[in-house]
Amino acid sequence: MVLPDDVKNLEIKDIFTSTTVHFYLLLSQDCNLNCSFCYQPKSFRSKNKEMTWEILEKTVNFALDNIPEEKLKFVFYGGEPLMNFEMLKKAVLTYPQLRFVLVTNGVLITPEIRDFLIKHKGTVYTSISIANSKDCFPDKWKELMKNALDVIRACKGDVHYVEGNPKVIYETYLYLESLNLGLIRLSIPRGMDFTEEEYAEYIKQYKMVCDHVYFGEKYNRNIINFDRAFNCNLAKKFQDAPYGLEEKYCGCGILYVAVDCDGNLWGCDWLKALNKIPLGSLDGFNMENLRYVKSYQKEPYKRLYVHCDETRLKGICHIPETTLCTRAMCIAENIEGNDEITRPITSHCRANNIDYDIYEYILTKCKEKGLPI
């Protein structure tokens, strides 16, 4: 491995330079659902892999030894983290001064867990992926999610709505909106190869959501994740201002680190599943690999997005310039699909096209109506 001169001597403080660094605690490598759109490889799943208190406590100490406390967030992740709720509970009660995030499908939130999360809402922020239960239990997902949505309302968390069936996006969004849940993040499943009909349906349904949210009876902001369009490079383009200054990088190994049940460090849970680019253990970082990951993310348009022009020439990407790409490259996705960090998979680019088209639609309509961008 030959590292560029500008990264080969970097130290920890030079790598974790962002305002927030997330340590993902993989509390369980098992999951209670089997979603059709799950990106985690089957090799990741294990019924016998749960994080112990020894590993969790050591992770907290390791993180505090290496990163300033004010920068740190600890994310309860999996698999499904609530399959190891007792460890989550012990962590929150032991370290109430720290910041925690729970990412869950919500199905396992019992009244007991609901009450605990609400009681400790100042310590734990909750994010729930709504379509997981909808995908696996289409006839009773609303009932299954009752306790989870109580948490979101009480704690002002967020709902992440991923949908593999584009025909139901608008009607489901209206239902979620009626529950007064706050932020609803709409996403396209990773790894899907869309037909032309599916692509057109995603565009149609997302436009219906945007017309309802932004251009209905009142101009709403900050209730769906399309709001980031107002601050991205695409918005700068519509304001006739310079753009291309915002660096979009994957973030693994510099914005976040995943810790598995054995105390090994990875850029993310996906790289853990692939057993690629280990970042060390709780005894110490693998500095060579950490610098290696940093090297691709330090100047992403020069080092990570180097194959984007190829996808544009092949007609896979129709975004006019790489700097206008709306979604960060995913290193693990590239490695799994193409065995190369810098070569994006086709489905990722096509999902980006949908995002770009929707952002362009919102901004064009805002400009036509004289609304702020």
**Which residue segments constitute the domains of the chain, with CATH numbers given?**
18-238 (3.20.20.70)
Per-residue confidence (pLDDT) for residue 364, from 0 to 100: 92
Better-predicted residue by pLDDT, 354 or 231: 354
pLDDT, mean of residues 23-51: 87
CA–CA separation, 29 vs 51, rounded Å?
Answer: 9
| pLDDT tens per residue, range 73-82 | 999 999 999 9
- Which range in 117-126, 139-148, 152-161, 226-235 is most confidently predicted, on average pLDDT? 117-126
| pLDDT tens per residue, range 166-217 | 999 999 999 999 998 888 888 888 777 788 999 999 999 999 999 998 888 7
Q: Where are the beta strands (DSSP E) in the chain?
A: 21-26, 72-77, 100-104, 124-129, 158-162, 183-187, 256-259, 264-266, 280-281, 284-285
Q: Phi, psi at residue 248, to the nearest 5°?
A: -105, 105
Residue 205 · residue 170 · CB < 8 Å: yes
| pLDDT tens per residue, range 212-243 | 988 887 777 767 877 776 777 788 888 877 66
| pLDDT tens per residue, range 268-290 | 999 999 999 999 999 999 999 99
Q: Phi, psi at residue 6, to the nearest 5°?
A: -80, 0
CA–CA separation, 20 vs 137, rounded Å?
Answer: 36
354: tokens are 């949908």
Per-residue confidence (pLDDT) for residue 88, from 0 to 100: 98
| Cis status, amide bond into 79, omega within 30 of 0 | yes
Per-residue confidence (pLDDT) for residue 244, from 0 to 100: 57
Q: Quick one: pLDDT band at residue 325, thresholds 50, 70, 90?
A: confident
Residues in Cβ contact with 300 at an 8 Å cutoff, skipping those fewer than 6 apart: 247, 248, 249, 329
Q: Quick one: pLDDT band at residue 45, thresholds 50, 70, 90?
A: confident
Residue 210 · residue 171 · CB < 8 Å: no
Edge-to-edge strand order for the sheet containing 280-281?
A: 183-187, 158-162, 124-129, 100-104, 72-77, 21-26, 256-259, 264-266, 280-281, 284-285
Mean of pLDDT over the chain: 91
Per-residue confidence (pLDDT) for residue 166, from 0 to 100: 92
